[in-house]
């Protein structure tokens, strides 16, 4: 059977990011300009703060600024998002020229095979990767074995106690970042180009990390081992599809994507330009293991590279007085354009109203003063639940089994109320 990889448009989103320096001293900030990936394209910049300057770099051009106390920098982009799904079987050993992207240049191949602090390529990683892919005859089988191993043997933990593939391979605990960094490390150790993407969910701006692996003839394919690991649990399999729009099957996150994520940066350990000028951190400044022990975020780098950009990296010159997340990562706001955004509002509001009606109906059974005309609450609850299911279906979000159950519940309520009303008349 001929294999094809279908790419379909899901929505256009606007990403607005801002950072306000609430410190008493000037800080320097770096941001990557988003680039096209397998699941995003048609990127349009609608505005960048005058303070931000551009520097050519690879694979991203960088924006940077020295931000004085009280100043704010902002960026504003619109990005098309795409769903990827296999039609037919998953890739076989036969190479078919279907939906192939531009072949990797020598520079690109070297870059996405390099060893980094966050995803090292060393003898230890190479031996582990060879062991877990033993018996694989093709490159795709190796990718699948790496994917299956990480999904099956790693444990999701947020927040992680350490960051980086080396720590993840030892402790087997981490969040989406560690899952992705480890996948990159194993693939590169076997000579397979891979990269870690850092971004956010498009429907709620929550941070997320995942992978792309380069496999000819299909080009860059999305891989999400942390979501695949999470949906192994029943409650996540039921509810994550509603929350994130992801597929509820652990096997559907290699080469496929739901088209509901924006990538801010492609790969960890990107070189900062202009260069980061390291200063000695204050004595009581907290350290955290970022690929190495005793890393002082904001005061040092990995040999001139940021551990990762999600979306940016900050340089402090003295001990910061403010250390909340917006003081380090800024604020991201992602808006869904067009009918998809309106359906999201309908989905959220109808679910809230359904819960309100449900709680009111429960309270009415115990509070005599709360009286309503017969069947009004049941009818209202059924109506709002119908709207929720309708909006979820149009947005292609939700677990099919749970949606089917909801539809049956709504149908039962309507029939039940109809029978009762008919009997009374």
Beta strand 173-174 pairing with 155-156:
parallel
Statement: residue 323 has pLDDT above 60: yes
Query: pLDDT tens, 275-319?
Result: 998 889 998 899 999 999 899 999 999 999 999 999 999 999 999
Q: Report residue 398 as tokens.
A: 């939700």
What's the CATH number of domain 4-269+330-336, 3.20.20.70, 3.30.470.20, 3.40.50.150, 3.10.620.30? 3.10.620.30
Q: Report residue 418 as tokens.
A: 């109809």
DSSP letter string over 98-149? Answer: SS--PPPPHHHHHHTT---SSS--SHHHHHHHHHHTTT--SHHHHHHHHHHH
Mean pLDDT within 400-411: 70
> Between the CA atoms of 44, 39, 199 and 400, what dihedral angle is there, to the nearest 10 degrees?
130
Residues written for the chain: 425
Which pLDDT band, with edges at 50, 70 and 90, does 93 fall under? very low
**Whether the model pTM is above 0.85:** yes
Q: Which of 87-91, 104-108, 127-131, 198-202 is predicted least confidently?
A: 87-91
Residue spans in the chain of domains classed CATH 3.10.620.30: 4-269+330-336
Mean pLDDT within 185-205: 94
Q: Report residue 208 as tokens.
A: 């997320």
Pairwise pLDDT comparison (360 vs 109), residue with the higher score? 109
DSSP letter string over 28-44? Answer: EEEEEPP--BTTEEEEE
Buried b (16+ CB within 10 A) or exposed e, 33-57: bbeebbbbeeeeeeebbebbeeeee
Sheet holding 62-67, edge to edge: 53-55, 62-67, 27-32, 313-315
Helices 139-153 and 176-189: angle between axes, nearest 10 degrees? 150
How is residue 257 annotated by DSSP?
B
Mean pLDDT of the chain: 88
How far is Cα 177 from Cα 189, in angstroms, rounded to an integer? 18
Mean pLDDT within 6-25: 94
Which pLDDT band, with edges at 50, 70 and 90, does 89 fall under? low
């Amino acid at each position: 059977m001929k294999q094809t990889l279908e790419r379909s448009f899901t929505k256009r989103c606007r990403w607005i990011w801002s950072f306000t320096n609430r410190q008493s001293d000037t800080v320097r900030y770096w941001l990557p300009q988003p680039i096209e990936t397998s699941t995003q394209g048609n990127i349009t910049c609608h505005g960048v703060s005058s303070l931000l300057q551009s520097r050519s770099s690879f694979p991203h051009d960088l924006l940077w600024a020295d931000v004085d106390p009280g100043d704010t920098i902002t960026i504003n982009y619109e990005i098309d998002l795409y769903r990827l799904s296999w039609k037919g079987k998953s890739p076989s050993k036969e190479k078919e020229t279907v939906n192939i992207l531009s072949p990797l240049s020598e520079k690109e191949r070297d870059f996405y095979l390099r060893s980094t602090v966050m995803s090292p390529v060393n003898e230890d990683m190479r031996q582990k990767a060879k062991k877990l892919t033993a018996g694989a005859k093709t490159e795709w089988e190796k990718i699948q074995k790496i994917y299956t191993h990480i999904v099956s043997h790693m444990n999701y933990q947020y927040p992680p106690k350490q960051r980086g593939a080396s720590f993840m391979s030892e402790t087997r605990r981490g969040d989406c970042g560690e899952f992705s960094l480890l996948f990159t490390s194993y693939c590169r150790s076997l000579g397979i180009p891979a990269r870690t993407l850092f971004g956010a969910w498009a429907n709620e701006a929550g941070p997320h990390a995942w992978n792309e692996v380069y496999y000819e003839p299909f080009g860059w394919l999305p891989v999400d081992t942390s979501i695949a690991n999470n949906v192994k649990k029943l409650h996540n399999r039921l509810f994550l599809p509603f929350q994130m729009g992801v597929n509820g099957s652990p096997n559907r996150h290699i080469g496929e994507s739901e088209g509901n994520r924006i990538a801010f940066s492609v790969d960890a350990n990107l070189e900062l330009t202009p260069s980061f000028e390291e200063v000695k951190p204050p004595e009581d400044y907290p350290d955290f293991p970022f690929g190495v022990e005793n890393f002082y975020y904001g005061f040092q780098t990995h040999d001139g590279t940021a551990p990762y950009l999600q979306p940016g990296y900050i340089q402090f010159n003295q001990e910061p007085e403010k250390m909340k997340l917006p003081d380090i990562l800024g604020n991201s706001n992602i808006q869904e354009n067009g009918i998809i955004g309106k359906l999201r509002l309908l989905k959220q509001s109808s679910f809230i109203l359904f819960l309100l009606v449900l709680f009111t109906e429960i309270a009415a059974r115990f509070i005599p003063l709360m009286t309503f005309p017969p069947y009004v609450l049941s009818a209202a609850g059924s109506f709002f639940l119908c709207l929720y299911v309708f909006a979820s279906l149009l947005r292609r979000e939700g677990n099919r089994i749970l949606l089917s159950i909801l539809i049956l519940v709504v149908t039962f309520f309507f029939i039940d109320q109809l029978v009762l009303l008919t009997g009374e008349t």
